[in-house]
Amino acid sequence: MPKEKKDEILYDHNHDGIDRRGFLKCMAWAGTGTFCVMKGGVLNSFSLSRLEEFDPSAMKGELSFAQISDSHMGFNKPANTDVVGTLKAAVGKINALKHQPEFLLHTGDISHLSKPEEFDTVDQILKGSVAKQVFFVPGEHDVIGDDGKQYLERYGKNTQSGGWYSFDTKGVHFVGLVNVMNLKAGGLGSLGAEQLDWLDKDLRGQSASTPVVVFAHIPLWSVYPQWGWGTEDSAQALGYMKRFGSVTVLNGHIHQTMQKVEGNVTFHTATSTAFPQPQPGKADSPGPMKVPAEDLRKLLGITDVKFKRGKHALAIVDSSLEENNQSAQYD
């Protein structure tokens, strides 16, 4: 009988590592590297010390990557006057991960004002990461004034004309979507007919058992429409993903972590590396949230994602810039 620790899963009825009495434990652990999901209205916590029960020799075929988001290079207001420093700290955190990520996903708002020097600075800082490659999708701050022309010149070389694309690695299908172009007055994020058509065709070629990871800047579910935190035509996109056994949607834009599970789709938003934003409805507007200097790094962070073959869901671990690296490890 294993010694009962505070974070041990007590009831594993479905043999999927989910403790259905995890609510209070989850809330206490928020921010220390625990994955909590809402499933059918019930909050479940993944005790990550139990999730990865594999022996080291079976590491072959594993996939590990990290998500960073909303670096807003160029932002210099009181909420964070050193976005260079906090982005570097995020890269440092990534470099210190025990199982180094093969690549990074940047889910947009790379720059703050779409200025060339802002993009250059981020590229420079990311070169210091151990990850071999960075994949980007644009945020609305990256396509200001030129309909994304500069963004596409820099990051659109291997993408479709509108900046969306897909790639496969270690048996996982990744799809980068663009939902920040051609935004209409009073509207939310938008994918558009051309991209949706491409997505339909792109996914048709994949077997339903292939895990799919979709990344886009603005959340693909309605987090808080009043603040523009949603995508108008995402329902159609999600419809194309319905037949897949495992879909993970990674977004940014809201500068805080939020999770939602709907059937086989897990939605996850990342913190920013630049500044936090208020929770839905908790402020007049979704602007940069000023916090005491000593608290800032608790609210900024990175997301570490691992795929283990045979597991239904990808393991997603958020860690703040302030946390001790040990707490972000889970094997």
Partner 1 sequence: MKAVMRLAGVVCAVGMTLGMSAGSSADTAPAKAPGATQQVKIDNFTFAPNELTVSAGTTVQWVNRDDIPHTVVSDDKTTFKSKALDTDDSFSYTFTKAGTYPYFCSIHPKMTGKVVVQ
Which spans of this chain sit near partner 1 (rule: CB under 8 A)? 77-79, 112-114, 140-141, 144-145, 183-188, 226-228, 284-288
Give 49 or 182: the residue with its C-beta nearer to partner 1. Answer: 182
Q: How far is the CB of 114 from partner 1 (least distance, A)?
A: 7
Tokens of 11: 């009831």
Per-residue DSSP letter, 185: T
- β-pairing, 301-307 vs 63-68, is antiparallel
Residue 75, token pair as written in the block:
């932002």
CB nearer to partner 1: give 188 or 328.
188
Q: Which CB atom, from 101 or from 286, has the smaller least distance to partner 1?
A: 286
Query: Where is 95: in which H helix or E strand?
Result: helix 83-95
How far is the C-alpha of 25 from the C-alpha of 13, rounded, in Å? 18
Closest distance between partner 1 and the C-beta of residue 98, in Å? 36
Strand, helix or coil for residue 165: strand
Coil vs helix vs strand at 159 = coil
Q: What is the dihedral of CA 215, 217, 223, 226, to 10 degrees?
A: -160
Cβ 167 to partner 1, closest distance in Å? 29
Output the smallest distance, CB 193 to partner 1, in A. Answer: 18
142 vs 304 by CB, closer to partner 1: 142
Q: Given the complex with partner 1, which of 51 and 218 has the nearer CB atom?
A: 218
Q: How far is the CB of 290 from partner 1 (least distance, A)?
A: 9
The rounded distance, in Å, linking the Cα atoms of 107 and 308 is: 22
